[in-house]
Structure 1
């Protein structure tokens, strides 16, 4: 009876062991099939879906690109055929009236044509007042066609509409000299309608134009493309590239159903479970066999000896199984509360934004209207620019930065006597919005700009400075989210102050040594291959804090002149564009035998250079050297300059294969245009040089000087010899006519409307510039002082004087009280 009970217990233990074994086998099968399923899903579903989506996106891009390819090919063939007609070549040799009549007939034969022109070689001129204007970009296209260089069709934006230029040399044969060109201009209906016909629900279509040496321009954008997958197609015989990005709808259409994956996974799972069952069955059978007495001859007659041995053998096997599987709670997995806290499984990050608190019913500070200028805030310190106003400007800028997603703002100041007080009020205002302040201390404006690019925390900043103005002035230069404020954006700051439309919060302030970062960045970029002796005139302004140290570390022999900081500017105003302010520098260069002298303005963003011979290198001449250097490495690049620059600069840029672009005066306007055009170099006659090649594109007198020294040491020539190679015409510096600040813009508008400049061609990009056959003249309202700014250039001194007297006559007609000293 006891043996029977013991046997039942052993059988029960064996069953429990088998159950644990089968459970482990089933769990193993499920885990292995889970891993197999994950791997197979990537191969049978994800990869197939990605390939299908990639093929669909590529097909959509090709379908959209093909009509454009056909359109461009047929259009070029059509224009080439017209250029090859004998009547076209004959009309090209005729009078202006004959050419115009023939061109009108050609335009009528081109669908969507706006205008056609027959242009004898070398006769192309700027023609802005035309439905299809010829500007510098079009002039460059014409000249390339005359040289049979790259003259592919180009899009140009005119009054917010895209115009397509197609040009062919006459005659088209490359074996014959070019006698002229046929330029056909079309509206955007033809090519745009081809893109509009494509389905917008399947994805986003983009068309970009990239002229060699320039950044790509987006000329067409339609549809939504959140699907991620993208494919681009270059349009042959053009500067175009079409990109297509999938939409969620296209992604859904290309989704791979997991049918095969489910079939394979089901098969392996079922097979694995069957294998586990079979294995368990075999173990059970083995256990039953091991539990029975082994029948051998004579076993029955020998009594219980063999049975006892069998029982002992069974107990031994059961004991081994129990030993192998006891205490294996394979499914006993848990995550403790403490682990959940550590892993934050049920938590999400929270963010609290500062409230937008419009201070209704509270009156703001008194704001002199005239201090909010075209590209900064500037006025008399203590009377117009007060600490109270500075605090409100800080609140407005901090709120504006927060509205643009910025949580920090850099703050810097120049060396004027009132700048520390204004900077503290500004800091307090910014911090009161909840925006953090990174205080750079007393540094030049370019270092504030640099900080917005270099620091990861922000791309917004404000500088307390009045730039080159006398010591009684002060003001603010502002950049929000990487964009320098100008025009309406400056007025928006005033509007926000008037409405008391501020955020509320408690921002933190910390200091940062940006000077070290700045010097290290320039040191890593600029390499001088020879020794240079240099005199630096900082005009007792803030550039003296950085300039001597920077150029000594670059290996220069530096003689500082007025580099000690004194906000009263005891030696001369910090304005190097005035020749009188350069005389001490010229004398010092000649005294010490330096290779050159450099004059920086009150906040370090302007540069004027003087040579050992006492020659002043004005910024438009300096820009000629930089343009040649940049275009040598970037053929076809855009070169930007303001309306005060020499006509020779335009011609030189073209001769080096660049694209000259004339634009408004003002550092904010120029920086915006640099971004718009993708220009690698730009400059103003006032001394602002903008370098995007290897740098950030903002105006920086210190970096400009470093790059100039690099060029000089590479050429191993005296600076006088280098600049002697550039064409220089008789010209005037900037001339100032004092006027009432609230009347200067109205005077220029009247001059534009009423002035009689005979055969001159006017340009009103910025003020009034009139180009004549032998020179040009300019009148514009200064954005930084109560004055009209004038400049003149002529092929001869006689032509220069005639243009000046013509402008003087017309100005006095407008206001006979003007004090004109020429």
Structure 2
């Protein structure tokens, strides 16, 4: 069949029926064609105010820069003078202390105060070969923990040690110098003289001079002169690695000195308004010209159309006459028509409604069940394939870019699937333009430490945590906070919608080692006062190469157990909260006569302790001991715990003078609650314990073990004796009842909507925690697997059995298929 076209169906460009839609309103005003630009520019008078505006702005910037350099030069001169004075004062004190120690070593008969008349306190401390661990040295009992550590360093390094820390009278300078092998001189000075030595500013009401001291990773202000309400400009100079002099100018004064361009700015604003007005006027003039030309063209078109209509009649008559005579007609068969369409440029008419910024629709199927309450987790070879992990990397990369984050850390554990997952994840991140710093195979706490130490704030850990070898997952930190349910489910929705951001250039990739810095940081913070023997069970996880080094650096005798990295976990699963996984450690602790057994999970953020008698210390019991230690130094401090912890824990926190705060189970929830409440300590029954006193507030099994060693080294009692003094009750470990990823939530909601526990106090913070006068029970949907999680505690076995029976009846009523073996 032929397809006939009239000549009038084809426009001058050779296309069929194409019409250009004319813009309206502001679109029409701004629709300047390329050919119009030269005339547009020639017709405008805004070029002069535009040039004036540019010149004024340049002058303003140069003027501001000149005054800024003047201010900074003055501040740098001031800080240099103050630094010289402070350094000279510290040198003078150091020489006085060294001289006093030499005179005392030579047998000087005068009192030590004769040599150090300006000291607030002078003490000569006898020191034996046992050092600060000598329990018979009564002189050490009156010293604070920091003073003991000062003495230890003076003896070990055989040189003058200077430190600064606060006391009842504010900040003080402390010097320690070994006199001879049996004595150490400890001298304390006020910082008032040091404050007087700081250079006085000519304008103390707007210039503040400070002397700061580095302590626990931050700077503490020891002395200052002058005042500044807000920081406008600063100059700093470092002294002796740990001292810093800072000079700050008040914000208002800085603005006064540097913002002297008001007249220029006023003229610039006027020029800008004039430029904008002329620009709009020029656009309006151009549109009037175009509309006039358009009307003339339409008139010519109408005249041409009339002529074409007459010509069309003549052509039709000619075609009809030729058809009647069986002569060939003008036709296009279907093949030639397709060729004509292919030759035409129709790109301007394509519908871009299916276009996708940063990606195209993918056929990769991603299981919803891998997105958990505080991480991504699934069976590595089935649910976390390379394609799936690449999509997760794109989603995470896009999320980072949207939050103005351009770099992230990446680390992995020792599982066999972790390198593959890491590689796919990195590929997706770099596709989105995120730079990746690879820390290698390190524990999760080391990755968390790196986010703080390197100042990056973003970190991704490829780990299956405490789960079996067939599992793996991803723990995520963005801008210093662990991702929880809402953010993780947001990643799932982003993958579903393919809402990605693709970078024009892939993000960079680099490697970084951080383990040595991590160990040095713990060593600088924790003091183990006497030599302890520990057995470390790393469960063949990623802590194996790191944990023994940490405890050796603290001076402990370390017996490693299953510390060889093996992704098959040949000895036992990497979950220390399961009693069966602790049998080898319990036996080793007793056989080696160790003071402590330390069990770590697969990635090192969980820890469980074993006493020297071979007994397990539940994590909430460990939290009781550590809470008493922390609150003793910080009265009123909040302590966070999860719903699975013993009811004795909040009572002990209250009795110690602290503030107990219960939260949902899950390390991300506990960590975020600690940040929100300002708590110095927190933990959950699964072994995640968080220190914010002297540490960073994330769950770190190795650091928690180091603090437990410090606690034990300063006590005359062994760990089992401390545990025996805690309130006693009959408790169960965390119990697991198999379910599925959907049904477990249905069961919890059904329990909440019934009256199975009438008469008891029920908390629905996380599942159901049912409190009775003599005990409690908990059932909740597990965050880490297809199961229900339960735990029970009571004053005696009979009451425990009664509570468990009530829970069994309730669970069977809502789901008779559950296998209840408790």
TM-score by length of 1: 0.57
Q: Say whether the 8 Å CA contact 1:396–1:497 is kept in structure 2.
A: yes
Structure-2 residue corresponding to 1:771: 771
Q: What's the secondary structure of 1:543's corresponding residue? A: coil
Aligned-residue offset at 1:710: 0.5
Task: Tell me whether 1:467 sits opposite 2:465 in the alignment.
Answer: yes
Q: What's the secondary structure of 2:608's corresponding residue? A: strand
Q: Say whether the 8 Å CA contact 1:737–1:820 is kept in structure 2.
A: yes
Structure-2 residue corresponding to 1:585: 585
Task: Tell me whether 1:727 sits opposite 2:727 in the alignment.
Answer: yes
Q: What is the rounded CA distance, in whole Å, between the counterparts of 1:800 and 1:485 in structure 2?
A: 36
Q: Say whether the 8 Å CA contact 1:357–1:502 is kept in structure 2.
A: no
Structure-2 residue corresponding to 1:482: 480
Q: What's the secondary structure of 2:560's corresponding residue? A: strand
Aligned-residue offset at 1:436: 1.1
Aligned-residue offset at 1:533: 0.5
Aligned-residue offset at 1:404: 2.0
Deviations 1:497-531 (A, max 9, x none): 22241231321111111111110111111111000
What are the residue-to-residue correspondences of 1:508-587 with 2, within 5 Å? 508-587=508-587
Q: What's the secondary structure of 1:542's corresponding residue? A: coil
Aligned-residue offset at 1:755: 4.1
Structure-2 residue corresponding to 1:333: none
Aligned-residue offset at 1:562: 0.6
Q: What is the rounded CA distance, in whole Å, between the counterparts of 1:500 and 1:228 in structure 2?
A: 41
Which residue of 489, 492, 504 maps to 2:490? Answer: 492
Aligned-residue offset at 1:719: 1.0
Structure-2 residue corresponding to 1:140: none
Q: What is the rounded CA distance, in whole Å, between the counterparts of 1:728 and 1:757 in structure 2?
A: 25
Aligned-residue offset at 1:398: 2.0
Q: Say whether the 8 Å CA contact 2:776–2:794 is kept in structure 1.
A: yes
Q: What's the secondary structure of 2:748's corresponding residue? A: helix
Deviations 1:702-747 (A, max 9, x none): 1000011011001132111122221121111101100122210110
Q: What is the rounded CA distance, in whole Å, between the counterparts of 1:685 and 1:578 in structure 2?
A: 12
What are the residue-to-residue correspondences of 1:239-278 with 2, within 5 Å? none
Structure-1 residue corresponding to 2:786: 786
Assess, with a 3 A threshold, how the Cα gap between structure 1 residues 503 and 227 changes in structure 2: closer, same or farther: farther
What are the residue-to-residue correspondences of 1:410-489 with 2, within 5 Å? 410-456=409-455, 458-489=456-487
Aligned-residue offset at 1:635: 0.6
Task: Tell me whether 1:662 sits opposite 2:655 in the alignment.
Answer: no
Q: What is the rounded CA distance, in whole Å, between the counterparts of 1:358 and 1:778 in structure 2?
A: 47
Q: What is the rounded CA distance, in whole Å, between the counterparts of 1:357 and 1:483 in structure 2?
A: 30
Assess, with a 3 A threshold, how the Cα gap between structure 1 residues 806 and 395 changes in structure 2: closer, same or farther: same
Deviations 1:339-387 (A, max 9, x none): xxxxxxxxxxxxxxxxx98345422521101000000000001110111
Deviations 1:549-607 (A, max 9, x none): 11111111111111101111111110111000001100011111111111101110000
Q: Say whether the 8 Å CA contact 1:364–1:497 is kept in structure 2.
A: no
Task: Tell me whether 1:615 sits opposite 2:628 in the alignment.
Answer: no
Task: Tell me whether 1:502 sits opposite 2:501 in the alignment.
Answer: yes
Deviations 1:632-663 (A, max 9, x none): 11111101000000000010000011110110
Q: What's the secondary structure of 2:395's corresponding residue? A: helix
Q: What's the secondary structure of 2:409's corresponding residue? A: strand
Q: What's the secondary structure of 2:544's corresponding residue? A: helix
Q: What is the rounded CA distance, in whole Å, between the counterparts of 1:724 and 1:437 in structure 2?
A: 49
Deviations 1:98-155 (A, max 9, x none): xxxxxxxxxxxxxxxxxxxxxxxxxxxxxxxxxxxxxxxxxxxxxxxxxxxxxxxxxx
Structure-1 residue corresponding to 2:594: 594
What are the residue-to-residue correspondences of 1:144-543 with 2, within 5 Å? 358-359=357-358, 361-363=360-362, 365-456=364-455, 458-498=456-496, 499-504=498-503, 505-543=505-543
Q: Say whether the 8 Å CA contact 1:734–1:791 is kept in structure 2.
A: yes
Aligned-residue offset at 1:478: 0.4
Q: What is the rounded CA distance, in whole Å, between the counterparts of 2:422 and 2:409 in structure 1?
A: 11
Q: Say whether the 8 Å CA contact 1:362–1:500 is kept in structure 2.
A: no
Q: What is the rounded CA distance, in whole Å, between the counterparts of 1:401 and 1:704 in structure 2?
A: 31
Q: What's the secondary structure of 1:770's corresponding residue? A: strand
Structure-2 residue corresponding to 1:637: 637
Q: What is the rounded CA distance, in whole Å, between the counterparts of 2:707 and 2:812 in structure 1?
A: 44
Deviations 1:235-284 (A, max 9, x none): xxxxxxxxxxx999xx99xx9999xxxxxxxxxxxxxxxxxxxxxxxxxx
Q: What is the rounded CA distance, in whole Å, between the counterparts of 1:756 and 1:228 in structure 2?
A: 61
Q: What's the secondary structure of 1:373's corresponding residue? A: coil
Aligned-residue offset at 1:754: 1.5
Aligned-residue offset at 1:406: 2.0
Q: What is the rounded CA distance, in whole Å, between the counterparts of 1:366 and 1:664 in structure 2?
A: 31
Structure-1 residue corresponding to 2:628: 628
Q: What is the rounded CA distance, in whole Å, between the counterparts of 2:670 and 2:553 in structure 1?
A: 31
Q: Say whether the 8 Å CA contact 1:596–1:719 is kept in structure 2.
A: yes
TM-score by length of 2: 0.57
Aligned-residue offset at 1:613: 1.4
In the alignment of these two chains, the number of paired residues is 484
Q: Say whether the 8 Å CA contact 1:357–1:503 is kept in structure 2.
A: no
Aligned-residue offset at 1:395: 1.8
Give unpaired runs (5+ residues) of structure 2: 1-65, 75-228, 233-249, 263-354
Ranges of 4+ aligned residues in structure 1 off by more than 3 Å: 226-229, 255-258
Structure-1 residue corresponding to 2:746: 746
Aligned-residue offset at 1:434: 1.7
Structure-2 residue corresponding to 1:27: none
Deviations 1:221-242 (A, max 9, x none): xxxxx9989xxxxxxxxxxxxx
Q: What's the secondary structure of 2:543's corresponding residue? A: helix
Q: What is the rounded CA distance, in whole Å, between the counterparts of 1:358 and 1:715 in structure 2?
A: 63
Aligned-residue offset at 1:494: 1.5
Q: What is the rounded CA distance, in whole Å, between the counterparts of 2:502 and 2:363 in structure 1?
A: 15
Give unpaired runs (5+ residues) of structure 1: 1-33, 43-225, 230-245, 259-355
Q: Say whether the 8 Å CA contact 2:359–2:502 is kept in structure 1.
A: no
Structure-1 residue corresponding to 2:179: none
Q: What's the secondary structure of 2:573's corresponding residue? A: coil
Q: What is the rounded CA distance, in whole Å, between the counterparts of 2:429 and 2:781 in structure 1?
A: 32
Q: What's the secondary structure of 2:651's corresponding residue? A: helix
Assess, with a 3 A threshold, how the Cα gap between structure 1 residues 806 and 228 changes in structure 2: closer, same or farther: same
Q: What is the rounded CA distance, in whole Å, between the counterparts of 2:552 and 2:605 in structure 1?
A: 19
Q: What's the secondary structure of 1:530's corresponding residue? A: coil
Aligned-residue offset at 1:447: 0.7
Q: Say whether the 8 Å CA contact 2:600–2:606 is kept in structure 1.
A: yes
Q: What is the rounded CA distance, in whole Å, between the counterparts of 1:391 and 1:360 in structure 2?
A: 13
Assess, with a 3 A threshold, how the Cα gap between structure 1 residues 812 and 710 changes in structure 2: closer, same or farther: same
Aligned-residue offset at 1:692: 0.4
Task: Tell me whether 1:711 sits opposite 2:719 in the alignment.
Answer: no
Aligned-residue offset at 1:426: 1.1
CA RMSD, 1 decimal? 2.6
Q: What is the rounded CA distance, in whole Å, between the counterparts of 2:719 and 2:356 in structure 1?
A: 58
Q: What's the secondary structure of 2:632's corresponding residue? A: helix
Q: Say whether the 8 Å CA contact 2:358–2:502 is kept in structure 1.
A: no
Q: What is the rounded CA distance, in whole Å, between the counterparts of 1:720 and 1:775 in structure 2?
A: 24
Aligned-residue offset at 1:537: 0.6
Structure-1 residue corresponding to 2:8: none
